């Protein structure tokens, strides 16, 4: 299954480089990649190569974050937004725009990460106040924090027109115009989150057997849960900061991963990377060609195309929680 996922990702990469809002000759694109000096195609590839690399990275990060959240929270509906990542990043961008004059573009990337991290920190602190080892307090805390931050965002964009003008370009995820500078800005968080996620795979397998069994095996469940949620936060915050909120990827890909490779997290993680990257690239290609010569935002495509696909898979019993 991993080999098939690699092939799918390769096909989506080629499609992302060769298809767009304008018709492109694939043969010319391949010739330019191999050294042919075609000024037009060089300009096209100068825009599409960063878009493809950033899109694949963001899709992989969101998929791994969703996998970690669903694993530690034992919740098949778990995804980054459940912990307040999306609303935290949104509130941070709105605050930076309203009070510090940050406009849309590359400047919003470093502005979004602190809000996402602080939101998840608040969720974890509120969830721990109950003294329970259950994940239910975390879910409730996430809902509360997201609701409060959502109200704050709505108040700011309704009372400040300049905030709305800037925020509306960011509020639905888009890969249009992304550059490698965007990736370099969030790369430290992505690397740290990925390393931490990989280090947790063995412990997550033990936790999946049940807290009592994991404790008997010498696994400190609370620390594993905290480390996994920290990794998910870093990955999701970096991805959201880079391209804006993108729905569905973190929710659906973990289900597809489990259907493909089972419950072993050592296989789930690389499969999540491959499928997450392929899914987001495929959605971005669709966003470019559906309304030619105009272009849709990829966040719209993932929601409208991905959600029915997940619902159909669930109804057929082909994905497992």
Which segment of 88-92, 100-104, 124-128, 181-185 scores lowest on mean pLDDT?
100-104
pLDDT of 225: 87
Q: What is the pTM of this model?
A: 0.89
Average pLDDT value for residue range 192-211 = 89
What lies within 8 Å, CB to CB, of 210 at 6+ separation is none
CA 240 – CA 170 distance, rounded (Å): 10
Contact 82, 47 (CB under 8 A): no
pLDDT above 90: residue 280:
yes
pLDDT of 131: 52
C-alpha pair distances (Å), 60 with each of 56, 82, 106, 155, 239: 6, 18, 21, 33, 9
**262 alpha-carbon distance from chain centroid:** 22
pLDDT above 90: residue 311:
no
Give the Cβ contact number of residue 28 at 10 Å: 15
pLDDT of 293: 77
Give the relative orientation of helices 85-100 and 136-159 as an angle to the nearest 10 degrees: 30
* Averaged pLDDT score across all residues of the chain: 84
Give residue-wise pLDDT tens across range 27-86: 777 777 777 776 777 788 888 899 999 999 999 999 999 999 988 887 777 888 888 888
Task: Band the pLDDT of 274: cuts 50, 70, 90.
Answer: very high
Task: Band the pLDDT of 313: cuts 50, 70, 90.
Answer: low
pLDDT above 60: residue 226:
yes
CA dihedral sign of residues 60, 89, 76, 235: positive
Which segment of 105-114, 151-160, 246-255, 265-274 scores lowest on mean pLDDT?
105-114
Which segment of 11-15, 23-27, 44-48, 283-287 scores lowest on mean pLDDT?
23-27
Average pLDDT value for residue range 4-9 = 93
CA 112 – CA 67 distance, rounded (Å): 22
Give residue-wise pLDDT tens across range 156-189: 988 888 788 778 767 778 888 888 988 998 999 9
pLDDT above 80: residue 253:
yes
Structure tokens at 7: 């092939």
């Amino acid at each position: 299954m991993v080999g098939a996922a690699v092939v799918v990702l390769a096909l989506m990469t080629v499609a992302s480089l060769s298809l767009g809002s304008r018709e492109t000759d694939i043969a010319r694109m391949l010739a330019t990649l191999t050294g042919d000096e075609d000024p037009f195609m060089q300009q096209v590839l100068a825009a599409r190569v960063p878009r493809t690399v950033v899109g694949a990275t963001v899709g992989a990060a969101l998929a791994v974050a969703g996998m970690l959240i669903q694993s530690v929270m034992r919740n098949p509906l778990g995804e980054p937004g459940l912990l307040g990542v999306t609303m935290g990043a949104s509130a941070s961008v709105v605050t930076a725009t309203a009070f510090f004059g940050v406009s849309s573009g590359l400047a919003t990337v470093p502005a979004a990460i602190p809000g996402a991290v602080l939101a998840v920190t608040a969720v974890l602190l509120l969830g721990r106040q109950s003294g329970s080892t259950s994940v239910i307090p975390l879910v409730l805390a996430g809902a509360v924090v997201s609701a409060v931050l959502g109200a704050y965002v709505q108040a700011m964009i309704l009372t400040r027109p300049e905030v709305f003008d800037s925020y509306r370009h960011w509020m639905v995820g888009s890969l249009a115009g992304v550059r490698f500078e965007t990736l370099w800005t969030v790369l430290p968080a992505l690397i740290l989150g990925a390393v931490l996620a990989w280090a947790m795979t063995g412990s997550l397998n033990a936790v999946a057997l049940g807290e009592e069994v994991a404790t008997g095996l010498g696994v400190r469940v609370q620390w594993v849960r905290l480390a996994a949620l920290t990794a998910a936060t870093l990955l999701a915050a970096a991805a959201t900061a880079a391209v804006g909120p993108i729905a569905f990827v973190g929710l659906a890909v973990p289900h597809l991963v489990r259907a493909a490779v089972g419950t072993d997290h050592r296989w789930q993680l690389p499969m999540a990377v491959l499928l997450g990257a392929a899914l987001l690239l495929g959605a971005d290609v669709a966003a470019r060609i559906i309304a030619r010569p105009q272009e849709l935002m990829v966040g719209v495509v993932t929601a409208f195309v991905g959600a029915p696909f997940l619902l159909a898979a669930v109804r057929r019993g082909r994905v497992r929680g």
